[in-house]
Structures are given as C-alpha cells and as structure tokens.
Copies of this chain bind each other. A is one copy, B any other.
C-alpha cells in the first residue's frame, strides 16, 4: 500500500504563491477594502454606484451613420458613445479607419446629442490630436504593452480605458496601468475583453474571474467588453448580465443601427432593439446588487 502524504503539487500551490509574492506595482494597488477610484467625466461618474454603458459602432464610418447609431444607444440609456477613428486591423488591406476626419465626426455627434465620446489611440504621435477631440482615450488590447504609447497617455489630462492584452496576465495588465499612472495620469479604467485560449466557439474567452480578481487588487474602475470577447451576437446579452453581476463598473458594447452594412465587426454588433433589451436586463441585475444602470 502507498504511503499517503499531504503533499501538494505545484498546480495546487499556484494561487497561494501568487498571493504571498511581493507586489511589483504600487500606484494601482488597493490599499484597503473601501479604496475605490471614481472618475468624473462631464458629470458622469465611472466607478461609482452607477453602472455605465459605453455603446456604439466598431468604427466611425461617416457622419450620418454615427449619428444614427448614437441616437439609438442614447435612447436606450447609454451616456458614452464608443467608436474608433483609428482601427488596428490584422491585415494591411482591411479598412484602417477615417483618422482625424473620424475624430471630427465623433466630436460633432457627441456635441449634438450631448454624449461623452471615447475612441482608440494607437500611435504615440496621435495622442495629442485624439485628446483634443474626445473625452476618453482608449488603448486597445494589441497595444497594452506598447510602453511608449502608455507613457504618452500618461501625460494626458483625460481618462484612459486600458484594454487587457489578448494574452496578458492580470499582473501585466495592472503593470500597464501602473505605467500610465507613473507618468502622471491617474484616471485609468481597466477593460477586460477576452483572452486567447484553445476554445473556438467564441472569438476569445471572456475572463470574468479577472474582473473579480482585479477588483481585489486595484482601486481602479473595471469595465467589460463582451462584444470583442464573444465575436458572436447571440451570447452578448447573457455575458453582459454576468459582467454586471460580478461587479463590473460598465459595459463597452458594439451596437450598429444597420449591422448588415457595418464596415467592420458587423457579426458581433447588436441591433438597436437587442441593445435596448440588454440595458433593461442589465439594469435589473444592477438593482439586485444595489447598483443602478437606468
């Protein structure tokens, strides 16, 4: 008969080790249970009791089109309009975005409809330009460890959404936020958007545990992008409900008023009526945990 020892394997020891390790970050660290950063943008609070929707098309395609989608997301309760003027595309032959023309369109639509606007910035040389036009800057997952870009947005006065890299550990994600904070900008919003795994039924695997873990480790607000994680429209509603239930401070959702003709990501963009339903169901979840969304 074999001797039975109460020995543990490396796998079993893993999370324990991590918790004991000295933390390599400082500014992002949650110092006590009630330590939370709330970021204010034109009267809207991110990271407070309200759960926010940041909704809109993948890309700015033109003035009429953005205005149309902006109206529908506003009507359903979104206060922040998402849209990209600079697009990171795997292929050099794919639509790369409208650039500064797109930023102007975003500003115009936001002003007309009294919405807050956020957009992606990819190149350190564009940071000043982008900051001029929009209210919130976004670092995409491919650029999470583009350290020169992080340093540049670290000098901005406006909030930055920092998407988690496709294969970034939570620690690396927090260290990327630390870069931004260490260069002076303390208004960082973390965004979980799916990690790359072996599973093919979804484009990426939304790691909702990472939201719960990040909430334990940092005082920064954490939002969730179910659209890029799923890559398919049929599970965005349940993923959004789960994100709110786990404690996310907001949702970054792709919505298009005419998704069949979207220039990119049509397959994962919600129709207006589905986004409206999403807002209602998520609002109900938010209420059940003592927060509000509508």
Contact = CB atoms under 8 A, between A and B. Distances in A.
Given A16-B267, A200-B169, A288-B284, A6 B124 contact: no
A94 B208 contact: no
A239 B182 CA distance: 31
A34 interface: no
A18, A198, A215: most-surrounded residue (chain B CB, <10 A): A198
Contacts of A21: 10, 13
A88 to B, nearest CB: 6
Contacts of A3: 93
Contacts of A4: 93-96
A24 B2 contact: no
Interface residues of A, number: 95
A172 interface: yes
A250 interface: no
Interface stretch (A49-57, A62-70, A74-82, A138-146): A138-146
Contact of A195 (B2, B88, B205): B205
A24 B90 CA distance: 10
Contacts of A11: 90, 169, 171-172, 203
Q: Nearest 9 CB-CB pairs, A to B?
A: A167-B167, A245-B245, A123-B148, A288-B288, A212-B235, A242-B242, A142-B145, A242-B246, A241-B245
Interface of A: 2-19, 21, 24-26, 88-96, 122-125, 142-143, 145-148, 166-167, 169-172, 175, 178-179, 182-183, 195-203, 205-213, 215-216, 229-232, 234-235, 238-239, 241-247, 263, 267, 281, 284-285, 287-289
20 contacts: A6-B263, A7-B94, A9-B175, A10-B24, A12-B231, A15-B231, A90-B145, A90-B172, A123-B124, A169-B200, A170-B199, A170-B201, A197-B197, A199-B210, A209-B239, A211-B238, A215-B238, A216-B235, A245-B285, A288-B288
